[in-house]
Amino acid sequence: MPRKGRTMMGVLDGKVALITGAARGIGFAAAKRMGQEGASIVIADIDALSAEQAADRFQADGINALAIPCDVADAEQVAQLFERAIAHFGRVDILVNNAAIQKIEPLLAKTPETFDRVLAVNLRGPFLCIVAFAKHVQRRGGGGVIINVASALGIRPAPQYADYACAKAGLLALTKVAAQELAPLDIRVNALIPPATRTELNREFFAKPEVVNAIMERLLIKRIAEPDEIADAFVFLASDASRFMTGQALILDGGYLAT
């Protein structure tokens, strides 16, 4: 049965999770599920109104939530994001780098501005958040978890995804480097590779039959995933269930990379 509120004794009790791009889609589902397991939630999103609405929904379900508007590509806004989150909750234990954008178009149609913006949000943003989070963890004595939402396209790129695939490939590399360098701070860093998912981010994807068909041909599970189907994986990566896992990519891609 679907879970409506937080559980009585959650595996994330007492933790504070900051999730970027959490106003909708995969980020919203991850935030909700982690909140159900006892975590307090920071909803960071460039869409301030949607972030507030998401926080209101969580609060109505008994989940402690705070909305903070943020463009993760902006270093000053990221610094303020962590300052506000820490001022409100006292600490941040879990960082989920989920915020992302994409522009599906042929390589020769892409502009430098589009390419730069996709990399700024999808790769620079996680870098800025990781550094801010790690410095906070260092100040409070260590211990934390980072989850980077990557993509199978970072391993097996598809046409019309040049900028997005480059950014997600870079994010997988950043995951490994961060795991190596932040291990002394007792910070585990892993990536999650979700399947093609029915989200607003993928609205453009669904409008291009040739792109959908190319992806669907490779999927072994012949359907598009719903965000809630991925949410439990975030709890696993954030909790002690994965306490001996770092520098890895957890793949839930519907079999895309198996073909």
pLDDT for the residue numbered 143? 98
3-state helix, strand and coil shares in percent for the chain, rounded to the nearest 5? 50, 15, 35
Q: Against a cut of 0.95, is the pTM above it? A: no
Residues 6+ apart with CB under 8 A from 224: 195, 196, 197, 198
Provide DSSP, 135-163: HHHHHHTS-EEEEEE--GGGTS--TT-HH
Task: Give the Å distances, CA to CA, from 116 to 95, 124, 152, 174.
Answer: 24, 10, 21, 18
Eight-class DSSP state of 228: G
Of the chain, the end-to-end C-alpha distance in Å amounts to 33
Q: What is the pLDDT along the chain (259 residues), one digit of tens a residue?
A: 345 555 557 999 999 999 999 999 999 999 999 999 999 999 999 999 999 999 999 999 999 999 999 999 999 999 999 999 999 999 999 999 999 999 999 999 999 999 999 999 999 999 999 999 999 999 999 999 999 999 999 999 988 999 999 999 999 999 999 999 999 999 999 999 997 787 776 676 667 777 778 778 888 998 888 899 999 999 999 999 999 999 999 999 999 999 8
**In order of start, what are the domains of the chain with their CATH numbers?**
16-249 (3.40.50.720)
pLDDT for the residue numbered 24? 94
For β-strands 187-193 and 40-45, DSSP reports them as unpaired
Which amino acid is it at 91? R
**CB-CB contact of 53 with 62 (8 Å):** no
Active-site residue, selected from the candidate residues 89, 164, 234, 256: 164
Q: Is 164 a catalytic residue?
A: yes
pLDDT for the residue numbered 205? 67
pLDDT for the residue numbered 3? 52
pLDDT for the residue numbered 208? 72
Q: In what order do the strands lie in the sheet with 249-251?
A: 65-69, 40-45, 16-20, 94-97, 144-149, 187-193, 249-251
